[in-house]
Structure 1
Amino acid sequence: MKVVVHVDGGARGNPGPAAAAAVLTDASSGAVVDEATAFLGETTNNVAEYRGLLLGLERARALGATSVEVVNDSELVAKQVNGQYKVKHPVMKALHAEALSALQAFDAWSIRSVPRARNAGADALVNQALDAHRL
């Protein structure tokens, strides 16, 4: 089964309160099959973006997906995972390695970045999670 995994992460402030989200759809029908959010506490936007990716991949595995098409609005994460950009920061290196390991669980995978407007579902879930954790 192939799923399209829209993922996002965001921080209000950098670093600041952060959240990650994923919206999974059936690749054939486009129907939403799962949604998830995670409040991350205080972290950076880039860490939140990777956490969104990892959350989406975890949910895809739980659904039994064998193939994933990951869509996000972070060009940095997409290009790092695709090997086009180097990963230099130690925290990012660990998240990058975790993401590559998670992707190996699938028979096929791809990742690409799109403008935020084309990732609106995951973006909205990030904001909902952040709003829910306001002090």
Structure 2
Amino acid sequence: GWAIVTGDGIVADGGETIGRTTNNRAEYEALVRALEAARDYGLDEVDVRGDSQLIVKQVRGEWNANDPDLKEYRIRVRQLLDGFERWSLEHVPREINERADELANEALDDA
């Protein structure tokens, strides 16, 4: 799941089922959808907080993406991030990422 939070609160969120996939692909898909929503909302800057250390480190270039699908996701995420005037990406514990985790669990329950 994902959520866009501004100083005014949550402006958009989502958590959709995407079929059978790996947790890493699901994390990347949620990140892509969140960044597309932030772009469509007209935000110039994004501070991304994700609970997947693998995704955060791959996108920041600290770890390689060996899986071909994850490489494609990484490229797509970097393209989206480059569309913002400023962006940051940091790893946070799942407990701090509560809303996104709730949405992901709701989507799994609906599957």
TM-score after normalising by structure 2: 0.96
CA distance in 1, matches of 2:96, 2:8: 14
TM-score after normalising by structure 1: 0.79
* Shift of residue 132, structure 1, vs aligned partner: 1.3
CA distance in 2, matches of 1:38, 1:69: 22
Q: Which has the higher strand share?
A: 1
Q: Which has the higher helix share?
A: 2
CA distance in 2, matches of 1:82, 1:101: 13
Correspondence 1:20-39 to 2 at 5 A? 21-26=1-6, 29=7, 31-39=9-17
Q: Percent identity?
A: 37
Q: CA RMSD in A?
A: 0.9
Segments of structure 1 that go 5 or more residues without pairing to the other structure are: 1-20
Q: Which has the higher contact order (CA 8 A, sep 6+)?
A: 2
2:68 matched to 1:90?
A: yes
CA distance in 2, matches of 1:122, 1:61: 18
Paired residues in the alignment total 111
Correspondence 1:3-14 to 2 at 5 A? none
CA distance in 2, matches of 1:122, 1:38: 11
